[in-house]
Structure 1
Amino acid sequence: MAFPSPMAASPSSSLSSSSSSSWSSLHHLRLLQLPNHASSRLSVLPFPRELPLSLPLRLRIPRPLLPALPLALARGEGGGGGGDNDDDDGNNGGGGGGDGDGDGDDGNAPDNRKAALFVLAQMGRKLETLPSDLAAAVEGGRVTGEIVRRFAEMEGSALLRWLLQFQGFRERLLADDLFLAKLAMECGVGVIAKTAAEYEKRRENFIKEIDIVIADVVMAIVADFMLVYLPAPTVSLQPPLATNAGHIANFFHNCPDNAFQIALAGRSFSLLQRLGAILRNGAKLFAVGTSASLIGTGVTNALIKARKAVDKEFDDEAEDIPIVSTSVAYGIYMAVSSNLRYQILAGVIEQRMLEPLLHNHKILLSALCFAVRTGNTFLGSLLWVDYARWIGVQKVQEES
């Protein structure tokens, strides 16, 4: 590169030309060839051609002006998952007590989405290979990468892979990998624990009140499954409700399935939403308890009539159980007592106390869950007998 000679352009001419020319003229540079005598003079200048490495060089490069971080994230996510986030905002905004929670979720949505997609890339899977509701939750940033990893691990089991096809089981298995074991525990010990509780309360009248015992056990078999299923913590995979949905529907849609569960995937629940979870599960358990009691008392009355037809002496000892009053009473009992006990058991004792301490010791954790659930089932049977006698749907048979 040749340097222009002092005679090529004088300072006065340069200043005058820069002041009179337009901005576009500055982009046109004229390179003039130096004469031979000028280049010979430049070669003997008293400074080295190479700078020493010890000489510090500082280059000041102006930093470009960027928008603020929230604005940059909003623009960056606008072409990808921004639509889903907007839906979540609207959904949470209509949920009454969930306005503040929706704002907190949106800040974590991009991070959750990137983490989940990174886990999928590590496993060599595409988003389309996931169930539709789980894929939509990944796009909306409503699940973490750990949830996606847990789903892939559960698919290795044939039984779990089959259960993961059902949305209700999928939400509960992803939130608690011991959910299926707890369900088996509850149904397995239900008959034994409730029969033992019936004997503890009735003692010498156990045989005389065997028809009532049978009704209670049959109701327990039908209800035990739902008592574990409904209050279990879940990963929310439900899509947002339509914009024209009512405020009540939006509110209960944003409530957790367990009032005491730990908020997963960066979500949070208000106190009003947690109270709403108790009311919603209570209404479901009232329907379950009433239906189970209708089945149990119906079966018991049928057994009583069959025994009366065979044994004439049994006619004076046994009485038909009032179906309607017993069914409604059992529905109320499940909506209040069973609802609170099982929500505290799943959300507080198991998820918040036992699992953090024994997360890496699954066998010991399962054993403690078994013991706690057995005790809870036995306690519930005792409370039901006292409650049924207190309201008059069951009577104590006196010794003859």
Structure 2
Amino acid sequence: MSQTIMKEISNGDPSGMLVVVTGASHVMYGPRGIGVPARISKKMQKKNQVVILLDPERQSIRREGEIPVADFLWYSAAKPCSRNCFDRAEIARVMNAAGRRREALPQDLQKGIDLGVVSPEILQNFFDLEKYPVMAELIHRFQGFRERLLADPKFLNRLAIEEAISITTTLLAQYEKRKGRFFEEIDYVLTDTIRGSVVDFFTVWLPAPTISLLSFADDGSGESVELLKGILGSLPDNAFQKGIVGQNWNINQRFASVLMGGLKLAGVGFISSIGAGVASDVLYGARRILKPSANMEVGRKRSPIWKSAAVYSCFLGTSANLRYQVIAGLIEHRLGENLMAYYDQPLIANLLSFVSRTVNSYWGTQV
């Protein structure tokens, strides 16, 4: 079927429209991008051609009197699909197999299904995540976790790996620095460790790929806040993120995502550094009050809070931002998914994350 369509596109009018009558099996995307739409969408070079796939079998799932929402799926190289992109019969099959009703889903997921921008694979991922109590709580209560876990079900694994590496290396560095004073100054150790843990959380959170359905559900208003949200929402989460339904990022948008990611991480670094500096001074003052006889000036080198915050924010916004963009987009999302597709071993993806993030952590300490 896909070869026939591509042949007609090549031989037909470069500005024409091709109508194809298919069955339900032809319009499904499948678990790894199989099906006619996935095969032809990347091969369409002429920007003004449109392929319409009619599915007469879909008529049987509509009740009499209902308004036809999508009688066809269309795929064009001119612009990304933003409405009726997936077969509703397949969506209904996934819902029925899970024994779930549309009303029980989060609001953004409901609107995404209504608009036809939620694929059967994303919906199945949602139901699979619901099987685990912790995951179910996160994806129902927190939109940020839902957007990241639907785009990458291994997001929490990557977060846990980063935090484990961060806490371990920070504690080892603090022990090497303080030696015998490690347990006496455990409060300072914990302050630095907590700051590092918070920063590393955002280094994983910010460049992680997301699937945001609100950009489709909200058509946009004239409000300046909505306009700003729309501009930010049009950027990928990292420069190497794969294109998703309704988004086809160009080189300028990918470059802008690097700058935006750098600004976000710089802000995180600045605020966390000031917080750690203030906490350190408070702890130092409390120690002097509780132990006035102790000589605590020895070994204490106090750096200016504002200068330290500026230096740390610049480091996160430049070096760290670029490294984590590569890890999240190029290594984990692209290379990791390709390895998973060939070997179907989740351990490979986790091992790749562990090795890349360990090397990155060591490299970051040397910069």
Equivalent pairs, count: 297
With the length of structure 1 as denominator, give the TM-score of the two structures: 0.64
Measured against aligned partners, the alpha-carbon deviations of 1:330-380 in whole angstroms (never above 9, x if no partner) come to: 222222222221121011011111221135111232123122212222322
- Percent same amino acid at aligned positions? 32
Match status 1:144 vs 2:119: yes
Question: Which residue among 304, 309, 322 is the counterpart of 1:327?
Answer: 309
Match status 1:191 vs 2:171: no
Measured against aligned partners, the alpha-carbon deviations of 1:30-58 in whole angstroms (never above 9, x if no partner) come to: xxxxxxxxxxxxxxxxxxxxxxxxxxxxx
Contact 1:186 1:373 in 2 (8 A): yes
Question: Which residue among 335, 344, 347 is the counterpart of 2:329?
Answer: 347
5 Å-filtered alignment, 1:197-236, equals 216-236=192-212
Match status 1:361 vs 2:337: no
Match status 1:163 vs 2:145: no
Deviates more, 1:329-338 or 1:316-325: 316-325
With the length of structure 2 as denominator, give the TM-score of the two structures: 0.69
Measured against aligned partners, the alpha-carbon deviations of 1:43-76 in whole angstroms (never above 9, x if no partner) come to: xxxxxxxxxxxxxxxxxxxxxxxx97469889x9
CA–CA separation in structure 2 for the residues paired with 1:251 and 1:236: 14
Measured against aligned partners, the alpha-carbon deviations of 1:190-235 in whole angstroms (never above 9, x if no partner) come to: 12223446788x799x98x999977643421221111111111111
Contact 1:109 1:142 in 2 (8 A): yes
Give the match for residue 244 of structure 1: 222
Classify the secondary structure of the residue corresponding to 2:247: coil
Pair 188,272 (structure 1): closer, same or farther in 2 beyond 3 Å: same
Give the match for residue 251 of structure 2: 271
Classify the secondary structure of the residue corresponding to 1:109: coil
Measured against aligned partners, the alpha-carbon deviations of 1:262-284 in whole angstroms (never above 9, x if no partner) come to: 12336321122222222332232
Q: Which amino acid aligns with 1:219?
A: R
Question: Which residue among 234, 258, 262 is the counterpart of 1:282?
Answer: 262
CA–CA separation in structure 2 for the residues paired with 1:73 and 1:351: 30
Classify the secondary structure of the residue corresponding to 1:235: coil
Pair 115,245 (structure 1): closer, same or farther in 2 beyond 3 Å: farther
Unaligned runs of 5+ in 2: 1-16, 20-49, 59-65
Contact 2:265 2:313 in 1 (8 A): yes
Pair 266,243 (structure 1): closer, same or farther in 2 beyond 3 Å: closer
Match status 1:111 vs 2:91: no
CA–CA separation in structure 2 for the residues paired with 1:308 and 1:101: 69
Q: Which amino acid aligns with 1:270?
A: N
Q: CA deviation at 1:152?
A: 0.8
Give the match for residue 379 of structure 1: 363
Unaligned runs of 5+ in 1: 1-66, 86-99, 384-400
CA–CA separation in structure 1 for the residues paired with 2:117 and 2:300: 57
Pair 312,72 (structure 1): closer, same or farther in 2 beyond 3 Å: closer
Classify the secondary structure of the residue corresponding to 1:264: coil
Larger radius of gyration: 1
Higher relative contact order (CA 8 A, sep 6+): 1
Contact 1:113 1:139 in 2 (8 A): no
Give the match for residue 153 of structure 1: 128
Q: Which amino acid aligns with 1:194?
A: T
Give the match for residue 182 of structure 1: 158
Measured against aligned partners, the alpha-carbon deviations of 1:139-171 in whole angstroms (never above 9, x if no partner) come to: 223221100011111111111100111100001
Pair 318,350 (structure 1): closer, same or farther in 2 beyond 3 Å: same
Measured against aligned partners, the alpha-carbon deviations of 1:113-141 in whole angstroms (never above 9, x if no partner) come to: 55434422443433222211011112223
Pair 214,322 (structure 1): closer, same or farther in 2 beyond 3 Å: farther
CA–CA separation in structure 2 for the residues paired with 1:187 and 1:139: 38
Q: Which has a greater percent of strand?
A: 2
